[in-house]
Amino acid sequence: MNRAVPILCVVVAAELVGAAALLGWWAVAPSSPPAPEPPRPEMSFLDSVTAAEIRERQEQLAADRAEDWRALAEIYVLYGFFAEADVCCRRAAALDPDSFWTYFWWGTALSRLGETQASSEQFRAAVEVADGPLADVTWYCIGLNLLREENPQDAEKAFRTAPGYAPADYELAKLLVRSDRAADAVPLLDRLIQDHPQRQKYCQLRSHAARQLGDSEAAADFLDRADFATEVLSSDELTGFLEEQIGRHGLDVWIEEGRRLFAEGAVAEAAARLRETLEVEWRQEAADLLAHAALQLGHPDEAIRVVKEAIARSSPTPERLVVLGDAYQMRHEYDHAREVWERSARLRLHPAAHERLAAHFAQRGDEQSATRHRALASLATGIAALRRHELETAEKELQQAVELAPQQAHAWYHLGECRRWLGEREAAEIAYRRCLTIDPDHGRAQRSLDRLRSSPSPG
């Protein structure tokens, strides 16, 4: 035991010497460079909630983590601070050179700054670390940059590198049509329309391709389909993606929360959140939703106030006027409600407005006016179903419209269109002829009838 004590003392002394040496090295060694200061753009034009979220992300950068720099870069891109996003992405890439999203947001920021070649370099870096379909997205973005550089040959190669990715296929089809290769574009466009039948620009380009190939029947048919299509997309998919992402930040999160609560039946909670939103900043979507919530809660005065302000700030849409009329009806101001619904119906054929007017006149014993509005409600519902290509529903509603109002030329025309798309050739011809008997100058009916005679199917 006495022999062990000197040995233990020697060991402890050695450890103390080692610790002292290590502490001495720490004292003289250069410290790690502090995290750089983030760029802080002027944000007075933003709502206070979004600005607060950005400031919170700026403060998180003290830890100097790649994910925090990347998160700040993303929100900078979404709100137009592209030069600041460039700075953030540079730091994120230095800390973590293997992140797809760092290079994606970097390429997007540079693209928005007009630095297309530098942007494509970052998108190509993103391709190197992309998983699966994300590579297709980046090749599409590279192709867009090349188009902006007026380099269609290399842009075509980029789009061909992402086969099966709808946005790239569409841009490739456009290049083919514009370079007189419509026959090569047709298979691409037919597949796109089959997968996305309601996308307007796909049908428009298919009509252009058919016209280039001398197929006037198909050109007219696809132009009709474009007129009925309900999906009108952004100029390019990258812009559409950025518009969608904005909904994940700032005041848009509050609006989405209000919409979710309303859909779940928590109407009072939804109304409270939407009121809070409007106190921060006026947003049309929040106001429209709050007006509906106020009606469900039995608060017509609030609904009237909110709708009137929405109309003053934006426009008297048929939908807003229907809600305003509903609020007046809740206050038992029936004539005032009727006047507002009639104003809605004059703006655009709107099923809800005509349904309310039909009920209003029926309650007052004016069956002729009630029947007329029932017919118009069916016509509006039928046209909407036709636009969605729900042909059986459309035919049922349009048939009811012509039965209620046999002299309504427009209803006969749309019934003919519906029957033509259903392949009911003879029935379609009867509808077109009835339309032209009522209105001999109905040019669209005459055109459709002429086309029907030359082609048994809509294509």
Question: For 169-201, what is each residue's pLDDT tens digit?
Answer: 999 999 999 999 999 999 999 999 999 888 899
Q: Which two tokens stand for residue 344?
A: 């809605």
Sorted by sequence, the CB contacts under 8 Å of residue 185 that are 6+ apart come out as 172, 173, 174, 176, 177, 205, 209
Higher pLDDT, 459 or 323: 323
Average pLDDT, the chain: 89
Q: At what angle do helices 267-280 and 250-263 cross, to 10 degrees?
A: 160
Write the pLDDT tens digit of every residue in 338-359.
999 999 999 999 999 999 999 9
d(CA 371, CA 182): 49
Mean pLDDT of 130-142: 92
Whether the pLDDT of residue 455 is over 80: the answer is no
What does the block give as tokens for 78?
């979404």
Report the pLDDT value the prediction gives residue 11, as an integer from 0 to 100.
Answer: 34
pTM to 2 decimal places = 0.78
Q: What is the pLDDT of residue 14?
A: 40
Q: Residue ranges of the domains in the chain? A: 51-228
Q: What share of the chain in percent tops pLDDT 90? A: 76
**Nearest in space to 235 (alpha carbons), one of 162, 307, 155, 148:** 148
Using alpha carbons only, what angle is made at residue 69 by residues 63 and 72, rounded to the nearest 5 degrees? 120
Q: What is the DSSP letter of 231?
A: B
Helix (H) or strand (E) segment spanning residue 217? helix 216-228
The answer to whether the CB of 100 falls within 8 A of the CB of 136 is no
| Largest CA-CA distance found in the chain, in angstroms, rounded | 125
Neighbour-count burial of 31, counting CB atoms closer than 10 A to its CB (0-12 exposed, 13-18 middle, 19+ buried): exposed
Please give the backbone phi and psi of residue 199, each rounded to the nearest 5 degrees, phi first. Answer: -90, 115
- SS3 of the chain: helix, strand, coil, percent, to 5: 75, 0, 25
Least confident interval from 25-29, 132-136, 197-201, 251-255: 25-29
| pLDDT in the model for residue 30 | 38
pLDDT value at position 298?
Answer: 97
pLDDT reported for residue 33: 55
The rounded distance, in Å, linking the Cα atoms of 35 and 32 is 9
Q: What pLDDT is stored for residue 347 in this prediction?
A: 92
CATH of domain 51-228: 1.25.40.10
At 4 the pLDDT is 39
Q: Read out DSSP for 265-285?
A: T-HHHHHHHHHHHHHH---HH
